Structure 1
Amino acid sequence: MDTRKTYLFSFFLAIFAFLQIWCSYITFHSPYIGILLALNKADQWEVTEAHSQSASAKLGIRVGDVVKLVDGKPPEDSKYVVKWGAIEQANTLLLSRDGIDHDFKIVKNSTTVYDVIPLAEESICIFLACILLLKLRRSPSARLLSVVFLAMGLIYMSLGASIRGDLIGKIVISSFMMILPVVFLHFIVTFFKEKGELQLATGYIKYIYAILIVIAMLRGFYLLPSMSQFYRLDGIVTLVFFIIGFLINICVIAYMYFKVRNEKTYLSSIVKSVCFSLFISIFPIICLSFLPKLFLGIWVIDAIYTSWTIILFPISFIYLIASNQLYDIGMVIRRFIFAGLVSVIPVSLLTGIYAFLFSHEVNEKQILFVFAGSIFLGSLLLYAAEYWTTRLEPFLFPKKHVLQLALKKISKNLGAISTLRELKDIILIDIVNTLQVLGGAIVFRHENERIEIITQGEIDALEIERLVLDSTLPNHPDFTSIEITGHGAFTGYLVMTRKKTNMLISKEEKQWLQFITTYLEISLENVHLIRKLTGNLQKFAAQLPHEAVAQDIQWFRKVMFELQEEERIRIANDLHDTTMQDLFFLKRRISSIADKSTLEKSDQEQLNNMNNFVDMINASLRQSCFELNPHLLREVGLIQTLQMYVEKEAYTTPFELSIDVGSVAFIESKDLPTKRHLFRIVQELLNNAKKHSQAARVIFTVEEADHYFYIHYEDDGVGFNVQNEGVQKEIGASGMGIEQIRSRIIHMGGQMVLNTIKGQGTTFRMWIPIEEVISA
């Protein structure tokens, strides 16, 4: 099947190539003479029409001239005169005018608009047909639309040869003029079935194709000697069929429009778009060219010019096939009409000046053409002004473009703001960099006159705080401040210094800051609510009852644990990405100075001591980061992480610290949140031991038995009174005490036992079920 398709495609491609070569040869080898003849009463061949764009017009041949000889022979011996009643492809003419004979020699290299315009139209149609076949060949409607473009391309291709009397050119143009509306109807039916699932009858179309094939074969009669009457009748039939064919297309589209006009659906939008594009593409060639030629025998506008508009209709379908997006046609029409009305006055003035200056050289048609063309171009330019202004904005208005991009970025980032630190790191830096100012600040003045300020760049925070308290900030000459309101608990200010060039912020930039503050008000309101809710949660956490099995606040425990972990991870990342990086660069700087040979030995020793001190700080921060975010839980597991943590802590604790690990075969299979809870329990027990136990020895034991995971803690310290509510509240409020441990164990579905007596040490035992650990 594929081989047959390949051969068939190659066959049609060969025919197309032959037609292209043949029609191009005829078009550019023979000039368009454009003389129509008819026998007068004296049985002489008389000129009835000499086309204004032809070689005959340039030679001065007129209507009424009598043709005596064509290439030295009588007119009746010329096949073009006999067949078509025309003179084409001739070299010399002998004409009689007012009884005087005139010899005319036809110039060979006479190319007209009838040659150039169809060639351009053909190129566009063939290009679009190829694009559809290559890019959208899977769509049935796209394949049919490519056939529409191919038929139009063949019409334009054969036009030059046809008007020069070529037999092949006349057969091709007549046949495809009749085929085009049928193929288009077939395409429309397929298109609406594909896009809107609108079923229309298609069975009759194949019979129309059969009839057109028979008519094309009958055009073989053109080979007979005298067929001028048949040809003229065929020309009328072709025009009538073309007009009726497109009227049927219009009726089909109108039927679909009235069927779906009240629906607000994708199909109704498509139908409206199709109606609009059909009107602007078909109306000019039918109403201004074909109908006047058919009934009056003249062109109002030559079809060579109106034929351009017919390409617009199939082009609009390329967009509809390739895209699921539609323009609002009503809005497009209204905007274009408005643009046309706006351009009427200036175009009228310019056309009047043109007519006055060249009054002796132009006629009414030329003036009308200038006016209509200028109206169209002016409307098009005004319509597209918004689009091109937007596209060229980076070049025409670079400052405005930069501000808009920054506004989009800042407004997008504001959605992720939950803390004041993020407000500085994400928003304030962008504002300062965009405006190219020395520094900026966001200031909050609370009801109790407490000032909270975040700064970026070179700005005096103490000076800003003083100005806010004195209420003199808005009038200060060196600062631009915009008030941010939105909550009764505080008043906010966005403060900017002068630019790095010592210039004040411009009016356009101040308006941009006003936009920023409207977004900031919402974000600051959210930050305030987050801080308020977090504070309430912390108070609630400190007052939790000593429940052992209650599950009604399970959701609250989960939220609190997640908030705590997120905050610890955030702090650990901040330390790693900022402070530790700064220490790294400081160490490199110190090392580079210490390596200089010009320094004295004592100075080098001091610098090396400073480096060692930086290493100590760095190691301490690294340990803090690990405690905040124990990343080894994911990498090496719970047991190894606990062992490494306890071993490292043993170097700094005032007591002897050890950990014993028994049989632990299953705990590593649990999820990461569960392991993190267990690590936090050991961490909190050890922290409490360092703060309160005064022990000489602390032992941790971890093991598994009877499907439970056990943690045992024992010290020989001072112990405490379990009934001492003050101690418990203090520990619980810190977030690192017994109540915090108890909440974690309950959250995992486990149990705990605490044995301690004042002065006799502490023993803590906890166990959680391995098979039924509640997911954190």
Structure 2
Amino acid sequence: MFPVLKSKKLIMIWVGAVIFAVHLWLSFVSYHYMYLGVEVSTTDSDKWIISKFHSGSAANIIGLELYDEVLRIDGRPVMQHFSVPKFHSIEQARSVEVLRDNSIYEFTLYDVESPNTMQPLLLNAIELIMFIVAAALYTRAVYSASTKLLILLFVLMGFIFMSIEASSRGDAIAIYLIFNALSIVPVLFVHFMYRLLEEKGQSFFPFMLIKVLYYMLIPISLARLVYFTPLANYKYYSFDRFFSLLFFTTVCILSLVFLIFLYFKRRYEYSYSANIIKTMFFAFGISFTPILLLSIIPDLFGVTGVSYSNTIWALILFPIFFFYFASRKKLFNFKWSGIEKMLIQFFSTLTHRSNPTTLAMHQIIRNFKKIQQLEDLRTFFLPELCRVLKVKHAAVCINYYSHFNFFSHGDIDKEHLKQILQNDSESTIASEYLIFDIEQNADYSGYLIIKYPNRSLLAACQQWLETLCGPLSLVIENIHLSKKLSMRVTNYINEAAAASEQPLAASQWINKLTFQLQEMERARIASDLHDTVLQDIFFARQRVVKIQEKKLNANEINIYLQELTEFLDIININAREAAFLLYPHQLKEAGFAVAISNLIETERGIAPYKLRLKIEHSKKWDALPSDILLQLFRISQELLSNAKKHSKAHNVSLHFYKTDYQYCLHYSDNGVGISEHKHEDTMGWIGIRQRVANIDASIEVKTASGRGLSVLIILAEE
């Protein structure tokens, strides 16, 4: 594997060196030669006449005028200057000799100041922004096929801004780059959207359409190599320019139409891909529409529109709006301050103490099944946690209606912590404790508290602790629910004791059943964690051991650590998915609409049918009590599970909407349906009806064999 990694790194170095060399050359052309903006044309007598001055032209400054006859450029005949036969323009010239009113004038540019000295600097700044955005996505976002395409999209946009100034001066490399980039960018954008939706289990058109576009561009890109040969001429340049603009316009319009279609199809969803679609719709539309409508389309029809030098700046809005909408909808979690230092500390932690840490993580999660009451946290959880983190003091705090219960290891100032937890977040930041939220619900709040010597000591472990809070919250919630259930059962038993003289047998049976169910649930959670998180952690440990066994230099270690980072990202995703299946924490973190949307998005990747979701009045749904939302979420899961197992449907729909006084969940499919009353006998339907009864809702089922299924659940507004 090492030679492969080394060769990949060498390829990246060579590619980076080539890009840097091209940038240096284009910058040299841009800053060394003034932009003249002079267009020339021939007369019937084969004379070259100045026919047009483009926007930003320096011709007026040096004294050139329209209809001057050009005699010589840089002391040579006009046709020997490269830009005249190729582009019918005068660029990269130091002197121009013209005939005006039967008099010969020579104009030199040696001491002339360019009127647009800031534009190349601004374009270089935007080019840098595009490359920074690409680097940010590469280092901060989850790496996938769609992410690679988005990175490449921003890189190509960087090339466009890199080439603008040099291409306007007639440089062949810049013209080749900018024409190819203009042709590829809209195709790449469509390809990105296709891959993103494909990763979420959705496909709206065959990939062959995108392949056809790429196949069209390959021979065109090869034909453009003619710019580097003496065969290049103005006719080919004019055709290539027109084709590039037409192709760019056509694919951009198709992309916008496709985005509009996706937007209206997904506007009532709140999943990751739905938010990406909305983000790209607004970002692409806002940034590309001005240059299309004001410059390119008029140019294609031979009409003078707004100068490209004025509308090209709209493209900078693409990364700005992209990151604005991405951060607003929390699509990415970018950490700009101190990220490099944090990663160094994290990798250092893995390298120097990965073996004991990994083993301890195994032990901590294995010990969860031993925790039968909250007091067991002192024995089976906190001591091992302190040993792994190399701290002396830690605690778990459960706040029941402002009554704080602390389960601590070491010296913890409980009164001080009460004040911190009762006050705002500023007290938490200023304190000597690191506090993580474990659980926040109507019954109680849970916190994991670490007393640390300094904040940097735990910086590398913070993400691991946040991940650990997920399974820990499940343990605490199970204990809480078990106690709650036990109290209710005890009340029922006491009521039965008052009404009957022989309640003992029933009491013993209920208690035995309760404890059996509790142990089964703990075993299930432990099994789920073992099959997902623990297995992944074990493989990560094996990779760390390999790094330790090999004598590697710093560059080789960085390659292996990069691989390890990507694998840890996968572990993090798997842990989140396992926690999501056990308990949908997004109900609390992001709201009901997002949780349901992500459930549907996950189902689309594995379901044998097309799945449609529509959520209206999402904010009102999010405002419902958490216990009701959890029951609705579980009902949706069960309906989709039944559809997957039994319906044989091609189309399944979930619609959440609100009337004046009711919340409605409508499920429908076009499957085989179920026989009359059969839905009342199965465990799945019994569970659905029990959950519906728990939230005081009503359910209406319409079905017949071979006629699909319709389920309407109505919850009255309180």
TM tier, shorter chain? 0.3 to 0.5
Structure showing greater relative contact order (alpha-carbon pairs closer than 8 Å, 6 or more residues apart): 2
Structure 2 length as normaliser, TM-score?
Answer: 0.44
Larger Rg: 1
TM-score (norm 1): 0.41
